[in-house]
A and B are shown apart, each in its own frame.
Chain A
Amino acid sequence: MQVYLPIAEVSVNVFVLLGLGGLVGVLSGMFGVGGGFLMTPLLFFIGVPPAVAVATGANQIVASSVSGLMAHLKRRTVDLRMGTVLLIGGLIGAALGVVLFNYLKSLGQVDLLINLCYVVFLGIIGALMFIESLNALRKSRRGTPPKRKKHNWVHALPFKMRFRTSGLYISVIPPLLVGLAVGVLAAIMGVGGGFIMVPAMIYLLNMPTKVVIGTSLFQIIFVTGFTTMMHATTNYTVDVVLAVVLLVGGVLGAQAGTAIGMRLKAEQLRILLAGLVLLVCGKLALDLLLTPSELYVLSAAGSH
């Protein structure tokens, strides 16, 4: 069954879209990532124009994140205080990111930059997480408890604040900076930024893994909501029909994902996410390195 998308101006199979939404929803529920880093390239493959894919992806992430967040709120695994601090940084970052995006657009190399951003960030984060969780898994098998609550430079900064849910007493500067960086990347790469925020929260802020996912979902909802509005009002690229079909699959997937996530151990969860991140990174890197079969690329005039 085909459905015609009014903004994207293409006709696509409903079941492909439902499956895509479901797959990304499962990831969202399991790992607390929006799944935009996977959704956006997958939408390109089925023929949705990149600008529409990015904007609509943001809208769809709002839906699956709300669904995931509700499940986490019920289990009290959301640090609202930390989430708000991250969000303040995130909104400032997203606004800065849009300015940067438009500047790069005027230079004509925005596509390349987006791809490079993906490869570099996914590569670094995927590799770090993979090594770290592999070590943690090995240690937990041997029976030695993993070392946590180590004091690093993060604890030496001023403006300390108590985050009860996370059991932390740290300065607000690191979370603000993390939120800011994620906001910038969210605007440039058209993703929620969970795949960067989750590791940053675990390794930089030393937050407990259980709280990390709910809190990142909380921040992602607002940042992607903001991005959706920006795209809808400036580029007219949010396709609501595409979003609805994706989110029907997405919300169902998110519930399934949350249930799967509860059954797995934190280290196993992290190693799976790391593997996935590396896989997407490898695919994008290959596209940059291998000689393309078609040397020419068409784009609507004025968009370079």
Chain B
Amino acid sequence: MRLLLLILLAFALPAKAEQVVLGLSKEIVQISTDFDGSDILIFGAIKRETPIEAEPLQVIVSVAGPQQPVTVWRQARRFGIWVNAHAVEVDAAPSFYAIATSAPWAQVISETEDLRHKVSIPRAIRSVGAPMDVPDAQSFTEAVIRIRTGEGTYQLLENTVTVREQTLFDTAISMPANLTEGSYPTRIFLTRGGRVINTYETEIEVRKVGLERWLYVLSRQQPFVYGLMSLFIAIAAGWGASTAFRILRSQ
């Protein structure tokens, strides 16, 4: 039985003729008090046991933040003023999403492969239930992409992955300062002629450290103590400043 498995495995391996070996400049992003965004260098090599094919190899790198539900409101003019009129609940949208490619989007991946692996930004957003009174639910998802692209939290970076000799690749993803804590799934796709031939997945950990971590945990686990502490600091600061000024003036 074991022998049979080994044989099967031996036959299965050559099917994955080209594989990714990956390196990250950092696997943990630490959010400290002076955190101001972070650049992550993603680099790797392609391990292969067969000769290089003539068709050029393309690389796609995607980094996604934690999935969160989002409510999207569309405003409309009612009685002369602009109000939130229609809402669509987007079930899951990543808080951050960056894709870097080695060639223009249309050349690196086909529509079907994108659908299967959920690579592009619209595919990464999951929206199922739109209310009956909203016929154009698609435009709400588009709004999420438009707004977040404007903010810099969604990035499509075409032609930013450098591929050398079809073997080495590297790219840099810059993460903005307003990151959400969590693990960021990072995926690498190798494609040829729009077909995905190998994928690799890892995670980048984003977490608060030091004072940031301590305050965050306190505010969730001991909210009453946290509130009292905030009030105490406020009163002490107000009283301290007032006393300091009085002493300054009386001199």
Residues on A lying within 8 angstroms of B by beta carbon are 1-4, 6-7, 9-11, 47, 59-60, 62-71, 74, 108-109, 111-112, 116, 225, 228-229, 231-233, 236, 238, 240-241, 243-244, 247-248, 251-252, 254-255, 287-292, 294-304
Query: Distance (Å) between the CB of B211 and the closest chain A CB?
Result: 8
User: CA of A229 to CA of B179 in the docked complex: distance in angstroms?
Assistant: 27
Q: Which of A64, A66, A71, A288 is the most central at the interface, judged by chain B CB atoms within 10 Å of its CB? A: A66
Asked if B144 CB lies within 8 Å of chain A CBs, one says yes
As a 0/1 sequence over residues 46 to 85 of chain B, the CB contacts with chain A under 8 angstroms (1 = contact) are 0000000000000000000000111111110100111110
- Decide if B231 touches A9 in the complex (CB within 8 Å): no
Which of A64, A236, A302 is within 8 Å of B238, CB to CB? A64
Please tell me which stretch of B5-13, B29-37, B166-174 contacts chain A, meaning at least 4 of its Cβ atoms lie within 8 angstroms of it: B29-37
- A-B residue pairs in contact (CB < 8 Å), sample of 29: A7-B215, A10-B177, A11-B37, A59-B234, A60-B234, A62-B235, A62-B238, A65-B238, A66-B237, A67-B242, A68-B238, A70-B239, A108-B84, A116-B81, A229-B224, A232-B219, A238-B226, A238-B230, A241-B212, A241-B215, A243-B234, A248-B237, A251-B241, A255-B245, A298-B144, A298-B147, A300-B71, A301-B90, A304-B71
Q: Which of B31, B89, B238 is the most central at the interface, judged by chain A CB atoms within 10 Å of its CB? A: B238
- Name the interface residues of B191-239: CB closer than 8 Å to any CB of A: 208, 211-213, 215-216, 219-220, 223-224, 226-231, 233-235, 237-239
- Decide if A297 touches B227 in the complex (CB within 8 Å): no
Asked if B87 CB lies within 8 Å of chain A CBs, one says yes
Q: Which residues of A contact B87 (CB under 8 A)?
A: 108, 304
Q: Which residues of A contact B2 (CB under 8 A)?
A: none
Asked if B138 CB lies within 8 Å of chain A CBs, one says no
- Decide if B237 touches A247 in the complex (CB within 8 Å): yes
- Decide if A66 touches B72 in the complex (CB within 8 Å): no
Q: Which residues of B contact A3 (CB under 8 A)?
A: 33-34
- Decide if B241 touches A255 in the complex (CB within 8 Å): yes
User: CA of A1 to CA of B34 in the docked complex: distance in angstroms?
Assistant: 8
- Decide if A240 touches B226 in the complex (CB within 8 Å): yes
Q: Which residues of A contact B32 (CB under 8 A)?
A: 4
Nearest 5 Cβ contacts at the A-B interface: A66-B238, A232-B227, A11-B177, A296-B143, A70-B242
User: CA of A111 to CA of B177 in the docked complex: distance in angstroms?
Assistant: 26
User: CA of A117 to CA of B231 in the docked complex: distance in angstroms?
Assistant: 27
Known contacts A112-B84, A232-B226, A251-B241; can you find 12 more A-B pairs with CB under 8 A?
A4-B35, A6-B212, A7-B216, A9-B180, A10-B178, A47-B178, A225-B231, A228-B230, A240-B226, A241-B212, A292-B82, A298-B144
Query: Distance (Å) between the CB of B31 and the closest chain A CB?
Result: 6
Q: Which residues of A contact B34 (CB under 8 A)?
A: 1-4
Cβ-closest chain A residue relative to B218: A240
- Decide if B226 touches A62 in the complex (CB within 8 Å): no
Query: Distance (Å) between the CB of B143 and the closest chain A CB?
Result: 3
Cβ-closest chain A residue relative to B90: A301
The tally of CB-CB contacts under 8 A between chains A and B is 198
User: CA of A255 to CA of B239 in the docked complex: distance in angstroms?
Assistant: 11
Asked if B97 CB lies within 8 Å of chain A CBs, one says no
Q: Which residues of B contact A240 (CB under 8 A)?
A: 215, 219, 226, 229-230, 233
Q: Which residues of B contact A302 (CB under 8 A)?
A: 69, 71
Query: Distance (Å) between the CB of A84 and the closest chain B CB?
Result: 18
- Decide if A6 touches B72 in the complex (CB within 8 Å): no
As a 0/1 sequence over residues 112 to 147 of chain B, the CB contacts with chain A under 8 angstroms (1 = contact) are 000000000000000000000000000010011011
SS of A interface (majority) = helix
- Decide if B178 touches A304 in the complex (CB within 8 Å): no
- Decide if B237 touches A296 in the complex (CB within 8 Å): no
Query: Distance (Å) between the CB of B97 and the closest chain A CB?
Result: 14
Which of B36, B72, B228 is within 8 Å of A2, CB to CB? B36
Asked if B107 CB lies within 8 Å of chain A CBs, one says no
Q: Which residues of A contact B212 (CB under 8 A)?
A: 4, 6, 241
- Given contacts A4-B31, A62-B238, whether A109 and B227 have CB atoms under 8 Å apart is no
User: CA of A296 to CA of B85 in the docked complex: distance in angstroms?
Assistant: 10
User: CA of A236 to CA of B221 in the docked complex: distance in angstroms?
Assistant: 10
Which of B82, B180, B208, B234 is within 8 Å of A62, CB to CB? B234
User: CA of A2 to CA of B143 in the docked complex: distance in angstroms?
Assistant: 29
- Decide if B227 touches A233 in the complex (CB within 8 Å): yes
Q: Which residues of A contact B36 (CB under 8 A)?
A: 2, 4, 11
Q: Which residues of B contact A2 (CB under 8 A)?
A: 34-36, 177
User: CA of A291 to CA of B75 in the docked complex: distance in angstroms?
Assistant: 9
Which of A4, A74, A300 is within 8 Å of B33, CB to CB? A4
